[in-house]
Amino acid sequence: MAVEVKVPVLPESVTEATVLAWHKKEGEFVNRDENLVDLETEKVVLEVPAPVNGLIEKLLKKDGDVVSGEELLAIIEPKAASEAPAAAAAESSMEEQAATNRQDADLSPAVSRLVTENKLTPSDITGTGRGGRLTKEDVLGFLESRKSPPAATPVQAEAAAPGARNERREPMSRIRSTIARRLKDAQNTAAMLTSFNDVNLQAVMDLRKKYRESFEEKYGARLGLMSFFVKATVEGLRRYPVVNASMDGSDILYHDYCDIGIAAASPRGLVVPIIRDAETKSFAQLETEISDLGGKAREGKLAMDELAGGTFTITNGGVFGSMLSTPILNPPQSGILGMHRIEQRPVAENGDVVIRPMMYIALTYDHRIIDGAEAVRFLVTIKESLEDPARLLLQV
């Protein structure tokens, strides 16, 4: 009896998805749980696995089609692997062998698929992920490096000639389109204002240097900067809860928890995974979660529930070299903290000029509900907490 493959049930905030890429054709054999098709929503790319072993009888949607939750995608005729066509059976056997190797290499599903489809040996590729783990970008870069450029045709040679003016047009991805719409909505709706301050990070740097090895040995996590900023942000939100609030019609909705979004770059654009209940978590828990979410973002493996909600956002343009910026709010949130690059700059301390690692920080806030005095004091709280980290322990 034929088995239907449907679009997964989508969250309330997501109404539709776009068929991004089929990984099988009609008439091909597919193994149960093998990724059949990628669907792009406004937040993440979903993988739809095959529910059974069998032959693909019909694909009902093509790349680029817009689909909604539980809409029919394909029909599979169930068959055992032994009933598969010879070529498909051989491919299935090869994939099973590759799957064993992938387990040893601890590869993510996206990386595993790339490795299998291109018949690669994971040990031949240098991993840049945590603990040397292979990322999707590592594999794509390896594939790109193996390509030899084809001989240029006369038309291509002419197009590449000096002074040539070329253009290309690509449709916006659903994720990029959503980012554009939401940011423009924020500009059109909120009364956004940005305040700035600078932070002397010498005390934080000294703490990290002193405890980095023992911290990593005990918790298995790197002691980075972001956990300090999350802790300082939580302290600021505790003191000035309106910065953690949002507008709901004519009401102000206050949150007694801190779900902190950490903006991260992904292959498909900016995403903001959420650290839930950040006010309850230790430095080690924060560092582990930040690292895990960052890795998922780079590999395009974030789940819907890891991106939903959030009461405040932190974005770090400093990793790309930004000296200063005015971040845009992430609706319906009322505040976003911008971090920037650290620079050795001369500052005055006790009448002497010394060189210190300095960072500009920026708070963009919704002036409809947050007064300037509260915004500035919030930034000062972050500055004081980072310049004297003992405050984070004592909450003073």
Instruction: Report the sign of the C-alpha dihedral through residues 365, 368, 372, 373, in that order.
Output: negative
Tokens 């991004």 belong to 20
Cα–Cα distance, 383 to 201 (Å, whole number): 9
Of 57, 158, 137, residue with least CA distance to 300: 137
Tell me how far CA of residue 131 lies from CA of 24, 121, 134, 356, in angstroms: 33, 18, 9, 31
Tell me how far CA of residue 89 lies from CA of 92, 113, 114, 178, in angstroms: 5, 18, 20, 41
User: In 40-57, which positions are buried (b, 16+ CB within 10 angstroms) versus exposed (e)?
Assistant: bbbbbbbbbebbebbbbe
List the structure tokens of 2. Answer: 């034929």
Cα–Cα distance, 53 to 56 (Å, whole number): 9
Query: How far is C-alpha 163 from the geometric centre of its chain's CA atoms?
Result: 38
Cα–Cα distance, 235 to 387 (Å, whole number): 14
Catalytic residues: 367, 371
Quote the crossing angle between the two packed helices 136-146 and 109-117, to the nearest 10°. 20
Cα–Cα distance, 35 to 112 (Å, whole number): 11
Question: Cβ(80)–Cβ(54) under 8 Å?
Answer: no
Residue 371 identity (one-letter amino acid)? D
